[in-house]
């Protein structure tokens, strides 16, 4: 058999084997066997030395064709098999995206925190700074700097958990007034601050008392600040929380750190002033304490009461939440019953 026939036969044999194989490893074996250094094609090409100068290039060219044909057939088969393998894998790993997923329960801020966040956001929008104090506070800031010396009878208004005779669990967020007044540089402008946080009192827990609850303190001190500013600010707060047709009414009251002191009522959001069970038929609901900062408080913080003055207020987010959502027992907020808390899910 001439070399050309031999090559042709090898080609046929190779192509048939490639066609018949359905395994990637086998394809590789065929490649090595047919086209490798020790394979029959190389063998045939070695025999070319014996050919005439005229025939050698022809056979050489034919040999290249044979090699190309086989190489192409092997590559085509290989990619066909690889694709088939991928398809099989995809089929096997197929996901049904319409199956319901595993829902991860989503947390959310506690309802009291929601009210605090809403208020704090409102005040930030009005240019107030936020001051977060410590729950363990000095008697000095919680009382003395707020015009409540050690023997002051008004200390009885707030039954206190003492840690030592000078350290206590703060009974109010008002100590942040004193701390901020001390720090503030009034040459740079007025002090406008809010301070939200937890406070503690030695109360027996019942439906309206908790030994730990929340307050948001607010204070504005500068030049020419009047009680009208206080009232306007409280109106904004009431409207933010309860809707915009509400009025604010100030009644005389007493706090050692304000003079005059007031208690602020808002129009009952439930009956709009007509009288109902929530407002005990008065049309008004008491929501917070406030007043014009006492000159002694300013003096003790080295702020000149002849030049600077302003207002302060302290409100209870727990009470706001009870009013807003008709919750009758403050302890519900602290027992962390998820069924109760998820009622206030902001995302519905």
Contacts of residue 97, defined as CB under 8 A and 6 or more positions apart, other chains included, come to none
Pick 143 or 344: Cβ nearer ligand DAH: 143
Return d(Cα 148, Cα 257) in angstroms, integer. 8
Pick 18 or 219: Cβ nearer ligand DAH: 219
In the complex, the smallest distance separating the C-beta of residue 173 from ligand DAH, rounded to whole angstroms, is 7
Q: Which residue is nearest to ligand DAH (CB)?
A: 314
- The annotation status of 240 as a binding-site residue, yes or no, is no
Return d(Cα 156, Cα 60) in angstroms, integer. 113
In the complex, the smallest distance separating the C-beta of residue 172 from ligand DAH, rounded to whole angstroms, is 4
Pick 242 or 313: Cβ nearer ligand DAH: 313
Say if strands 191-200 and 129-130 run parallel, antiparallel, or are unpaired.
Answer: parallel
Return d(Cα 16, Cα 28) in angstroms, integer. 15
Reading phi first (left if > 0) and then psi (alpha if -120 to 50, else beta), residue 300 is in alpha
In the complex, the smallest distance separating the C-beta of residue 344 from ligand DAH, rounded to whole angstroms, is 25
Reading phi first (left if > 0) and then psi (alpha if -120 to 50, else beta), residue 69 is in alpha
Pick 133 or 289: Cβ nearer ligand DAH: 289
In the complex, the smallest distance separating the C-beta of residue 300 from ligand DAH, rounded to whole angstroms, is 15
Task: Kindly list the residues in this chain that would bind ligand DAH in the complex (CB under 6 A).
Answer: 172, 174, 217, 255, 258, 289-291, 312-314
Pick 154 or 341: Cβ nearer ligand DAH: 154
In the complex, the smallest distance separating the C-beta of residue 348 from ligand DAH, rounded to whole angstroms, is 34
Give the helix ranges, DSSP H, for the chain: 3-20, 24-35, 40-46, 55-92, 111-125, 139-142, 175-183, 227-242, 295-300, 317-325, 338-341
Annotated binding site for Mg(2+): 259
């Amino acid at each position: 058999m001439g070399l050309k026939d031999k090559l042709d036969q090898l080609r046929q044999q190779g192509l048939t084997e490639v066609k018949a194989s359905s395994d990637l490893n086998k394809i590789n074996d065929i490649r090595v066997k047919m086209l490798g250094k020790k394979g029959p094609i190389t063998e045939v090409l070695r025999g070319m030395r014996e050919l005439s100068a005229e025939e050698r290039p022809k056979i050489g060219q034919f040999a290249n064709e044979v090699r190309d044909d086989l190489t192409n057939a092997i590559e085509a088969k290989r990619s066909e098999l690889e694709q088939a393998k991928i398809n099989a894998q995809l089929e096997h790993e197929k996901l049904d995206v319409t199956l319901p997923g595993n829902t991860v329960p989503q947390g959310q801020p506690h309802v009291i925190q929601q009210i605090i966040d809403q208020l704090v956001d409102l005040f930030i929008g009005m240019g107030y700074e936020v001051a977060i104090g410590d729950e363990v506070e000095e008697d000095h800031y919680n009382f003395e700097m707020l015009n409540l010396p050690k023997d002051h009878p008004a200390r009885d208004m707030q039954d206190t958990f003492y840690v030592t005779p000078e350290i206590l669990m703060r009974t109010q967020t008002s100590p942040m007034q004193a701390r901020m007044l001390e720090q503030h540089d009034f040459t740079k402008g007025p002090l406008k601050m809010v301070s939200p946080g937890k406070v503690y009192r030695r109360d027996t827990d019942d439906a309206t008392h908790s030994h730990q609850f929340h307050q948001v303190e607010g204070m504005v001190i500068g030049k020419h600040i009047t009680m009208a500013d206080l009232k306007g600010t409280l109106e904004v707060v009431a409207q933010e929380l309860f809707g915009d047709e509400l009025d604010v009414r100030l009644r005389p009251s007493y706090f050692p750190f304000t003079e005059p002191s007031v208690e602020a009522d808002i129009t009952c959001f439930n009956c709009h002033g007509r009288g109902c069970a929530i407002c005990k038929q008065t049309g008004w609901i008491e929501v917070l304490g406030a007043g014009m900062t006492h000159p002694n408080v300013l003096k003790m913080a080295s702020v000149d009461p002849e030049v600077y003055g302003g207002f302060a207020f302290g409100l209870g987010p727990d009470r706001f939440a009870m009013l807003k959502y008709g919750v009758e027992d403050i302890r519900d907020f602290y027992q962390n019953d998820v069924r109760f808390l998820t009622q206030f899910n902001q995302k519905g």
